[in-house]
A and B are shown apart, each in its own frame.
Chain A
């Protein structure tokens, strides 16, 4: 945040375009670099959600899977909100086999 950013906010001016350019580039390059089409990414998102939904109750609509990139390294980032019950505990599912799997904490 710079003085100019604050001034722009106060005057309700548009955000400086360099920020917009940087954000748009980061997004488009993450996709360019992996060669994953939006369709494939969406299919992968759904399959990942299905797998996770076997173990914990998640909000299928809220779950987001995206590509983020930094220093020519691209990461697949999944943000999957896990539903909680009335007491606030994470809602895990009864597993069919007896392996003890620790549900991961929400980030």
Chain B
């Protein structure tokens, strides 16, 4: 039994900020390091993790049948073909939301932690039942947010709740960062967001069209050694999560043309 299993909730408050994409990419990146990893789709209402991992056609049983004891955990887990260190435990029918309790969630997660070193829980948006169930089974959390007022405000709310549930550590991932907009001061900077939320930054992810291409294919960017900016960001986040000391990508250093240099000059603080 893996007693030191890291059980990490990936949450945000606001929907659509990139939780599921991060869960899929981290799952693959950790598995590639040879770490046995389970990803649990706890977004029972709007499940998507199967799709992003390209596993949607291989689901037979779900967390629901495991809880009802109509199948064993092994039968429900979907192992990734290229990265067999990664398994998905799919979300059941959305009607599970009607009866699922924190106890149920804890049961599933404790079963998973018997055989995996990492359990990543893809949390539903919001701060209601679905969120509370998922928190009750977690030890650590990654809060995903975007450099936008509504996403940051919702993240703050979630951080407050995670604190009251004793979740520790809580780390931040800032997703959909647009270096050009930050340079022209039309987007909250990395420091703005980390100062406001007062969380350690696990990493940032650059806004990148390739994310969409990879979801079309059901192949997370970290799967095939892509060198696109978001792929590098996701791999770095996985390495840092696992304790490696990897420097942050500096978004203001992305680009070296005259325009980029002028932009940097324009944002130098002079007083």
Contacts and interface: CB of A to CB of B under 8 A. Distances in A.
B22 to A, nearest CB: 22
Contact of B156 (A7, A17, A22, A33): A33
B265 A17 contact: no
A29 interface: yes
Interface residues of B, number: 27
Contact of B188 (A1, A5, A18, A32): A18
By size class, the interface of chain A is 20 to 34
Interface in A9-67: 16-19, 21-22, 24-26, 28-29, 32-33
Contacts of B152: 25
Given A3-B268, A18-B182, A25 B196 contact: yes
Given A2-B270, A3-B266, A25 B186 contact: no
B185 A1 contact: no
A3 B207 CA distance: 26
A2 B269 contact: yes
B161 to A, nearest CB: 12
B192 A18 contact: yes
B157 A7 contact: no
A1 B153 contact: no
A72 interface: yes
A26 B267 contact: no
A1 B267 CA distance: 9
A103 B182 CA distance: 47
A17 B187 CA distance: 7
